[in-house]
Structure 1
């Protein structure tokens, strides 16, 4: 067991259609690896990484949700209490972009009004197969008050920036007081003194960094 080496925990969710590369984005961010043949997520997957924002170490607790409709009832429970949401589509498949509005509606309904949402156009390395323009993604984001980036889970281009930009926005909300840390649905936990971190899922009465809403 080790003491906390971070000041905050931010809960993230990654959402979007099946096959857009959500798990690949997560693995690139948490493991710096691209695995082309990852099986489709069943329910949810989980990953963490500690980053630094304005001199503060922040642990990101990231839930990668399945894109298939049959898992929607399960994955929706993980939307609750999310401080950040990454909404992913595939720039080479227009249908995945067309479905973004539905995913956004779910997110806005199931998360709190202060949740920071970033729209990601994944697979930017496949420029020759592009089916959705950068301008279309940016316009949708601007019209809906979202952050926006294109990235490549394969090359790692802009993957870190996506997670860090959301964290910066969340931290800014903490600093200006618009995010209430005492609210359970904020998706943020602040370091408590003299606490120890146990392996995830063990002794939930003692550890304080589990956001599981299942």
Structure 2
């Protein structure tokens, strides 16, 4: 039973190749900041915040997972515990897009529970450098039974919408665990 100090825990995981902009998306959402210089994530970078939706308080935990192969051993545990997964690619890098399909299939195959998936094309502000069309992203999301959105961490385009979508879908789809608010 929930007490006045307990919250529902909502866990989200960002997965994608190195330099796809996962950390930039998280920094834009949590801090409204964008860093031009690339600073790779090593391992797992957790971010947390209290949020409220429809009168219910949630502890939002967002796991930003390093995008290189060395850290791949951590990914299964992170996506297994997640209520929602954001599959991030860089619209200016076709290779990062091609890996999203593999991640989506791996999650479907290895996950014990159905996950809320969101395919996210980042860097949509770089239209002249685009290698992946909007339609290709949408088709991939449809094939994974996922929602699709394009964002720009640099200019904040659709960042709030991205998190509103994944939070709403994850809350609607999952039985969320309760934990003490001292953890946030």
After TM superposition, the score normalised by the length of structure 1 is 0.77
Question: Residue 45 of structure 1 aligns to a residue in which SS?
Answer: strand
Where in structure 1 do 4 or more consecutive aligned residues deviate above 6 Å? none
Cα contact 1:81–1:111 (8 A) shared by 2: no
Structure 2 gaps, min length 5: none
| Separation of aligned partners in 2, 1:96 and 1:196 | 37
Residues 1:189 and 2:177 are matched in the alignment = yes
Range with greater deviation from structure 2 (115-124 or 44-53): 44-53
* 1:9 partner SS: strand
Aligned length: 181
Measure, in 2, the Cα distance between the counterparts of 1:12 and 1:132.
25
Name the structure 2 match of 1:185: none
Aligned to 2:14: 14
Contact 2:104/2:144, CA 8 A, preserved across alignment = no
Look up the match of 2:117: 117
* Paired position in structure 2 for 1:140: 140
Structure-1 separation of matches of 2:58 and 2:135: 32
RMSD, matched Cα: 1.9
Q: 1:67 to 1:196 in 2, by over 3 A?
A: closer
More helix by share: 2
Q: Contact 1:23/1:38 (CA < 8 Å) preserved in 2?
A: no
Deviation per CA, 1:76-104, whole angstroms, max 9, x where unpaired?
Answer: 32222110100000001111111111111
1:40-71 Cα deviation digits (max 9, x unpaired): 11111111123332332322101100111111
**5+ residue gaps in structure 1?**
174-178, 182-187, 201-214
Cα 1:49/1:111, change in 2 over 3 Å: farther
- Larger Rg: 1 or 2? 1
SS at match of 2:58: strand
SS at structure 2 position matched to 1:77? helix
Displacement of 1:38 in angstroms is 3.9
Shift of 1:16: 0.6
Q: Which region of structure 1 is more displaced relative to structure 2, 68-77 or 84-93?
A: 68-77
2:19–2:38 CA contact under 8 A, matched in 1? no
